[in-house]
């Protein structure tokens, strides 16, 4: 397994030896002289690869960085069948590969002196007693009552089209609950950004760059219709992740909303306790991006959810009527707190507030990361654009090795997603996404893609 900052992991383990890690900080300082990303953004159109009655598969990018763009139309079950049909081999390889990855993480945990760092203690106890499959199924049972039916219907469609077992697919969707990525997020508006833009969002995932993930890089664009339950189908949205994974790590929608997420390994006492009972956060993030059209709706959803683990989430909405267009969310089983740039927490010398800008690097208590992020943002404040974020922020802060998404909302309405993934097994060039070529996807084009008339 390749993690973004090995030092950080070592210190996590040491900190865990003394038990509670409140007050402990993440470590593994980004190299302050890390290179900029000077590759021009690719603006080439994605190329059509295959079609299905409810799906269109495109390949975006160049040899310096490419990924699938998969459009899906219809009900949850239809979306599942379309993805499972167009990407049968990829979905099978991903699901089997992630299962092996979870097994490895458990092995690693059982071999280590502090197993709880790798996977939650409750899972290890269940594994010792019942074995891995039954332990994962107990975890499913702990989240099922809070899992909306449309996720299960989509998984059923994936299973029917690929021949994978339903349970095998559902098990790997616990991934987010079982392992945690370090990550960073940034949102900037008004005085912080260049004049053509009204809102910028960035979500960088620092996690795992094994082939199982980087070889299945995908942006999935849903055009939901038909029966999605009592909320209706919601709006079109683009979900950044992997072939076969239907939860969300971050995404952007036709309602001009976007989402972000950071795993928290170093909380302070304000987080309270974690819980295994509740909605898997990757499902909650997808609900935010599919259904909510204002910050108030997103706040209500998060506040009312049965939440599980410690996270920082972000939700942005262009032109929101309720003050600033973005909230950072301190998220745990016990609390849901919402911050704008003037109330951002934690408030410390190394995580100072900035005007019209919200940022976190690495974790909640992550002095080393925040110092470098803040320094780069201070240089760029007032001039921030997607290009400058790619050139001088994510690259120099060295964040987003698995993938990095930049959302740019412009005054002229030409909104775009700038996306890069880590180097896949068949590509050349640098490994981490933040040093690779980004591809710009025009959001209006994504939402307007026509359903096949097969």
Ligand X SMILES: *[C@@H]1O[C@H](CO)[C@@H](O)[C@H](O)[C@H]1NC(C)=O
Q: Does residue 392 bind ligand X (CB under 6 A)? A: yes
Neighbouring-strand partners of residue 348: 351
Give the range of 49-57, 69-77, 101-109, 127-135 binding ligand X by CB under 6 A: 101-109
Between 333 and 396, whose beta carbon lies closer to ligand X? 396
Return the range that interacts with ligand X (CB under 6 A); candidates 61-69, 268-276, 277-285, 338-346.
338-346
Is 290 or 394 the residue whose CB approaches ligand X more closely? 394
Considering only 57-65, 106-114, 118-126, 145-153, which stretch makes contact with ligand X by CB under 6 A? Answer: 106-114
Give all strands (DSSP E) within 37-194, no chain letters: 47-52, 55-62, 65-74, 182-189
Least distance (Å) between residue 59 CB and ligand X: 33
Which of 111, 425, 426, 428 lies at the binding interface for ligand X (CB under 6 A)?
111
Nearer to ligand X, 165 or 342 (CB): 342
**Residue closer to ligand X (CB basis): 104 or 129:** 104
Minimum CB–partner distance for residue 93 and ligand X (Å): 21
Q: Whose CA is closest to 68, among 208, 210, 216?
A: 216
Report whether 212 contacts 98 (CB < 8 A). yes
Shortest Å, Cβ 131 to ligand X: 17
**Position 340 contacts ligand X (CB under 6 A):** yes
Report the interhelical angle of 149-162 vs 88-111 (nearest 10°): 110
240 strand-pairing partners: 219, 250
Q: Does 396 bind ligand X (CB under 6 A)?
A: yes
Minimum distance of ligand X from residue 270's CB (angstroms): 16
Q: Which of 47, 107, 355, 445 binds ligand X (CB under 6 A)?
A: 107
- Which residues in the 132-161 window bind ligand X by CB under 6 A? none
Question: Phi and psi at residue 56, in whole multiples of 5°?
Answer: -140, 130
Q: Is 332 in the site for ligand X (CB under 6 A)?
A: no
Quick one: 378 exposed, middle or buried, by C-beta within 10 A (0-12, 13-18, 19+)? exposed
CA distance 252 to 289: 7
Minimum CB distance to ligand X smaller for 108 or for 138: 108
Instruction: Count the Cβ atoms, other than its own, within 10 Å of residue 92.
Output: 19
Q: Does 342 bind ligand X (CB under 6 A)?
A: yes
Tell me phi and psi for residue 68, to 5 degrees.
Answer: -80, 145
Note whether 42 and 439 are within 8 A (CB): yes
Which residue number, 217 or 390, has a Cβ lying nearer to ligand X?
390
Pairing status of strand 197-206 against strand 257-263: unpaired
For 375, how many CA atoms within 13 A lie in the half-sphere containing its CB? 11
Minimum CB–partner distance for residue 272 and ligand X (Å): 20
Instruction: Note the helical H segments in 27-131.
Output: 76-86, 88-111, 121-130
Closest approach, Cβ 213 to ligand X, in A, equals: 17
* Separation of alpha carbons 453 and 228, rounded Å: 22
Min CB(90)–ligand X separation in Å? 26
Structure tokens at 331: 């998220």
Q: Which residues of 328-362 are buried (b: 16+ CB within 10 A; e: fewer)?
A: bbbbbbeebbbbbbeebeeeeeebeebebbbbbbb
- The reply to whether 379 sits near ligand X by the rule CB under 6 A is yes
Classify residue 190 by its DSSP letter: G
Q: Which stretch binds ligand X (CB under 6 A): 103-111, 168-176, 213-221, 247-255?
A: 103-111
- Cβ distance to ligand X smaller for residue 166 or 379: 379
Please pick, from the candidates 44, 323, 352, 413, the single residue that binds ligand X as defined by CB under 6 A.
Answer: 323
Q: Least Å distance between CB 238 and ligand X?
A: 27
In the bound state with ligand X, the residue whose beta carbon lies nearer, of 169 and 393, is 393
Q: Does 372 bind ligand X (CB under 6 A)?
A: no
Beta carbons of 432 and 34 less than 8 angstroms apart: no
Q: Residue 57 — φ and ψ, nearest 5°?
A: -110, 125
Among 104, 133, 196, 355, binds ligand X (CB under 6 A): 104
Least Å distance between CB 368 and ligand X? 16
347 binds ligand X (CB under 6 A): no
Q: Judged by CB under 6 A, which of 45, 133, 383, 445 binds ligand X?
A: 383
Give, in order, the Cα–Cα distances in Å from 352 to each of 24, 31, 148, 317, 371.
Answer: 19, 21, 38, 24, 9
Residue 321 touching ligand X (CB under 6 A): no
By the criterion CB under 6 A, which residues form the site for ligand X?
104, 107-108, 111, 323-324, 340, 342-343, 376, 379-380, 383, 388, 392, 396
């Amino acid at each position: 397994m390749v993690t973004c900052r090995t030092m950080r992991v070592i210190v996590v383990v040491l900190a865990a030896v003394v038990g509670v890690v409140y007050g402990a900080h993440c470590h593994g300082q980004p190299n302050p002289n890390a290179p900029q990303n000077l590759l021009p953004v690719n603006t080439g159109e994605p190329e059509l690869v295959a079609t299905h009655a409810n799906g269109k598969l495109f390949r975006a990018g160049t040899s310096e960085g490419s990924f699938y763009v998969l459009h899906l139309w219809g009900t949850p079950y239809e979306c599942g069948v379309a993805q499972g049909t167009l990407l049968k081999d990829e979905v099978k390889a991903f699901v089997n590969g992630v299962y092996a990855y979870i097994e490895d993480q458990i092995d690693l945990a059982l071999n280590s002196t502090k197993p709880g760092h790798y996977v939650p203690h409750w899972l290890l106890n269940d594994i010792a007693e019942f074995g891995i499959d039954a332990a994962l199924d107990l975890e499913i049972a702990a989240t099922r009552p809070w899992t909306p039916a449309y996720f299960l219907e989509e998984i059923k469609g994936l299973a029917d089209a690929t021949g994978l077992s339903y349970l095998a697919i559902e098990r790997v969707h616990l991934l987010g609950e079982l392992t945690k990525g370090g990550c960073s997020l940034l949102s900037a508006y008004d005085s912080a950004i260049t004049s053509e833009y009204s809102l910028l969002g960035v979500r960088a995932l620092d996690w795992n760059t094994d082939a199982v993930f980087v070889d299945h890089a995908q942006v999935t664009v849903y055009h939901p219709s038909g029966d999605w339950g009592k909320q209706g189908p919601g709006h079109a949205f683009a979900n950044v992740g992997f072939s076969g994974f239907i939860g969300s790590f971050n995404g952007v929608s036709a309602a001009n909303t976007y989402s972000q997420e950071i795993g928290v390994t170093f909380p302070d006492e304000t987080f309270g306790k974690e819980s295994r009972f509740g909605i898997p956060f990757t499902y909650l993030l997808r609900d935010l991006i599919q259904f909510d059209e204002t910050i108030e709706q997103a706040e209500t959803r998060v506040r009312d959810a049965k939440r599980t683990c410690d996270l920082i989430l972000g939700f942005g909405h262009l032109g929101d009527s309720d003050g600033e267009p973005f909230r950072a969310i301190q998220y745990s089983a016990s609390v849901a707190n919402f911050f704008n740039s003037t109330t951002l927490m934690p408030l410390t010398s190394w995580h100072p507030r900035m005007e019209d800008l919200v940022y976190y690097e690495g974790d909640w208590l992550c002095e080393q990361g925040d110092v470098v992020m803040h320094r780069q943002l201070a240089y760029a404040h007032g001039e921030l654009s997607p290009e400058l974020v790619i050139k001088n922020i994510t690259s120099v802060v060295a964040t987003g090795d698995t993938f990095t998404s930049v959302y740019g909302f412009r005054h002229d309405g030409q909104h775009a997603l700038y996306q890069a993934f880590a180097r896949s097994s068949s590509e050349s060039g640098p490994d981490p996404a933040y040093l690779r070529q980004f591809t710009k996807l025009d959001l209006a084009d994504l939402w307007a893609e026509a359903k096949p008339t097969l």
